[in-house]
Amino acid sequence: MMDLSLIAENAHLFAQGVWVTITLVSMALAGGVLLGLPMAIAQSQRIPVLGRLAQVYSYVFRGTPLLVQLYILYYGLAQFEAVRASIFWVPLSNAYVCALIAFTLNSAAYVTEIYRGALLNVDRGEIEAGLACGMTRRQVMWRIIVPQALRTSLPAYSNEVIFLLHASVVASTITVIDILGAGRTLNAQYYVVYEGFLTAAVLYMAIVAVLTLCIRWLERRYLFSKA
């Protein structure tokens, strides 16, 4: 039988894990958009060199597991004396910062492909209408193409949000006390099996439920609205 009192006594531990998970995923998603959108534009507009580099970046980070990327960043770079002697060692020696960097870079690769497809699918007639009104190509890009692409890519991007939330459990493997890390800590401290993991599962489902409601509201507001 599960010991519910044990879970209640350690509610603060899970509250800390929820906070760490939400902040980590939120910042990684924001960073992923900031990095991914320019790379998507570079690919969709076929900008020389930049477009090819963005394509290679996307292939590398989507083609390798997130856990491997995190281990290379946290454990692998520490093997180089040049890294340990540089100013980058202070942030790279912090597990939370390494997880944030890894999640951001990984999310940016998926965001690049999501937005690239959306940019390429913008109605050509809208672009020509903008040019006919006297807009420059840069103005058409930021006033017509990008806003339209952001709206149409919302369903696909919502999947990336939930995917990154689920993938964030790998942070617990490098000592970050996220939701799963809190569950593992509870299990190890009290020599139990189910309490920590089941509590973590319930918390993840609760967060996904809230995210789903928010995403559906955004879709009704910006994707399906006739206004």
Residue-level pLDDT at 29? 96
Per-residue model confidence as pLDDT tens digits over 166-189: 999 999 999 999 999 999 999 999
- The CATH number of 4-223 is 1.10.3720.10
Answer yes or no: pTM beyond 0.95.
no
Per-residue model confidence as pLDDT tens digits over 19-30: 999 999 999 999
**Burial state string for 120-145 with b = 16 or more CB within 10 A and e = fewer than 16:** eebeeeebeebeeeebeeeebbeebb
- The domain limits of the chain are 4-223
Average pLDDT, the chain: 92
| Residue 226 confidence (pLDDT) above 70 | no
Handedness of CA 61, 63, 67, 69 (dihedral sign): negative
Q: Tell me the mean pLDDT in the region 93-105.
A: 96
| Residue 227 confidence (pLDDT) above 60 | no
Per-residue model confidence as pLDDT tens digits over 119-154: 999 888 888 888 888 888 888 888 888 988 888 899
